[in-house]
Each structure stands twice: as C-alpha cells, then as structure tokens.
Amino acid sequence: MEKKLLLVDVDAGVDDAAALMMALAAPHVEILGITCCFGNTTVENVCKNVLRVLKKCNHLQIPVYQGASTPLLNTMKKDYFYGTDGLGDIPDADAPGSDQVQREHAVAAMIRVVTLVATGPLTNLALAVKMDPTFPKKIKNMSIMGGNMYSRGNIDICAEFNFAADPEAAYIVLNEYTCPTSITTWEFASSHSLPWEFYEKCTSQDSEKARFLKEIYTVTTGYQKRPIPKLRTLYRKPGFVSCDCFAMAAAIDEDLVTESIFCAVSVELNGSHTRGMMVLDIDDRLKKENKVSIAKELDMEKFKGLLLAALK
C-alpha cells in the first residue's frame, strides 16, 4: 500500500486526539506535522494537548506548530463540550512543555506540505491560501470534518461547530481550494455512532493509550449518554461519536466511504439563524467547477478496526 503523508490541522479536542491516535497507529501513514488552531479551547491549550497525545503514542518527534488564535472576523461562541482545556480537564504533571512547539508559524509550515486533514476551524487553511494563492493546487487531496448537509447544527440552529467558529474561513476554503476534497459532516458522524459496548471494548484494552483516551473522554461521554430529544433521533443515533475520527479514517483508507454526495458547496455568511451553515448546490446553480465529496455511508467494520488498532 502506498505510504500516505499527512499534515493534520487540529483544534484538539478529545475527538482530535482520537483521530491523531488513529493516524499514528496506521502502518502506511506518516504524519509530517501537526498545525494547531483555536476551537475546542485556546490555541495554546491545543498545542499542549497535541504534545500530550504525541507523548502517549511515542511520537514526540513530529513537529507541532501554533497557528490562528482567533477567527478571521467574528467572535465565536465558547463551548466546553470537551472540557475547558479540550482534553477533559485531566491534569498531567508530566505533559511536554510549550518549548517543544516549533517557532515557525503553522501557516508557513502548512504551505510547505501538500496533504491535509482538517478537524477544526478552517482559519489556518484560509490564511494559507491568502499567503500563497497557488497552495490549493499543490495539495494532493484534503479531508475535512465540518459543516452539515441537512441544515442541522450542534452549536447553532443550522451550523456545525467548526464552520460556525469561523464562517469566513470555511467560505474561503470551500470556494478557493480546488484540490480533491472529502467532507464528513456533523450529521454524518451523528448518524454513525458506535455502540457503547464497542466503546468499552476499545477503551478497556490493556494499553496506556486506551486508558488515556477513556480518561480524557469522561466529560464528553457523560454528555453523549444523556437522553436524546425525540426530534434529534431522526439523525442522531444513541452511542459513542468521535466526529474527527471519520475525517481521519477517510484520509487513511480511501475505500472506507462507500456512498457520497458529489456537488459544489459554499457557506452561508449572512443569515441570522444560518450563518456558518454549509450549502449544498445539488442543482448546480452556482456553476462552480470544483466539487466536493460529502460522505453518506461508510464501512463500519473497517472504521471499528481502525479505532481498535489506534488504542492497542
């Protein structure tokens, strides 16, 4: 199998942590660098969280870069779904220090690398194309976790967190990046939750990584186990959801997604209830040349295998 070289842009976040662990465990994947963006917590905390994950997985040699600390224009709503520090507020006296973060800015590093997996707000990616307009043409492909395809939101009525955190950045990326792009949306992740029995099987493996993930997910799984409102059950299945793992899995194994919507997309910037919502141009009214692949179904057994392997 051809070796996959990845640059991963994160706002880590326990789900970003799980996604990174999945990529680090894949034998045919090499992460060349990890760029950090605000989102689940401050960008400083994101950098610290990434270093903690790399230490647990014995991969501290991978360079980590600090990037955008705020959205391009708006101020985002604070959301502590993963704890105030993004990793479940679990103290770690042995965590690597911020002195291990690279001095080079994340966007400068991003421009030097050609493959992207984005699991946070898209601010770094938007800044990259503004610094180098030819950058999107240099990327082999891109996998994004974000947006929505049925106008159902998680941070706002009609918007998903990553896109709502910086709608202008999402708009720039979806309109100016011309590389092959796949997107796993909020609704896709919600409708492909994993049984709690499988989550226990994964996190009960006799490994430091499994114990670490179970510990940092304590706050989040507490939220996820709450009863789901009746209307949400139309697209949200009870069980464990780690949204960012879907984007990472799709990047690791191109055959994982078995059914997709292929169309042009954009992002709504002006609506009072729809700002940050991803717009699907199913009827090709925008007449855009670049289309994206939006996941609808996936091979769940392959996905489970990747998650199990990540925690061994």
Which of the residues are catalytic? 11
Using a 10 angstrom Cβ sphere, with 0-12 exposed, 13-18 middle and 19 or more buried, the burial of residue 231 is exposed
DSSP 222-287: HHHTSPPPGGGGGT--SSB--HHHHHHHHHH-TTSEEEEEEEEEEE--S-TTTTT-EEEETT--S-
Angle between the 43-56 and 14-25 helix axes, to the nearest 10 degrees?
A: 40
Q: How far is CA 55 from the centre of its chain?
A: 20
Cβ proximity of 120 and 79 under 8 Å: no
Q: What is d(CA 20, CA 159) in angstroms, rounded to the nearest whole number?
A: 25
Placement of tokens 């990434």 in the chain = 50
Q: How far is CA 15 from the centre of its chain?
A: 7
The residue type found at 48 is K
